[in-house]
Amino acid sequence: MLKVGITGGIGSGKSTICKVFKQLGIAVYDADARGKAVLEENEDVKEKVVEAFGIGAYNENGSVNRLFLAEQVFSKPDALEKLNGLVHPAVRVDFESWIDEQTGAYVIKEAAILIESGAYKEVDEIIVVNANEESRIRRVMNRDQVEESKVRERMNAQLSDAERASYASHIIDNNDDQLVIPQILRIHEDIISRSNS
Number of domains in the chain: 2
19 lies in the same domain as 43: no
97 lies in the same domain as 20: no
For 74-124, list the strands marked E by DSSP. 106-110
pLDDT in tens, 136-160: 999 999 998 989 988 888 888 788 8
C-alpha 168: how far from chain center: 15
95 lies in the same domain as 188: no
CATH number of domain containing 8: 3.40.50.300
* CB 126 within 8 Å of CB 4: yes
* CB 179 within 8 Å of CB 88: no
Q: How confident is the model at residue 23 (pLDDT cuts 50, 70, 90)?
A: very high
Per-chain mean pLDDT for the chain? 92
Say what the pTM is: 0.88
118 lies in the same domain as 196: yes
- Residue 90, domain extent: 34-103
89 lies in the same domain as 110: no
Q: Which residues, 6 or more positions from 131, have their beta carbon under 8 angstroms from its beta carbon?
A: 8, 9, 11, 12, 13, 139, 173, 174, 175
Give the pLDDT confidence score for residue 187 in this predicted structure: 97
Which residue, 52, 84, 103, sits at the end of a domain? Answer: 103
Which residue, 103, 131, 149, sits at the end of a domain? Answer: 103
99 lies in the same domain as 124: no
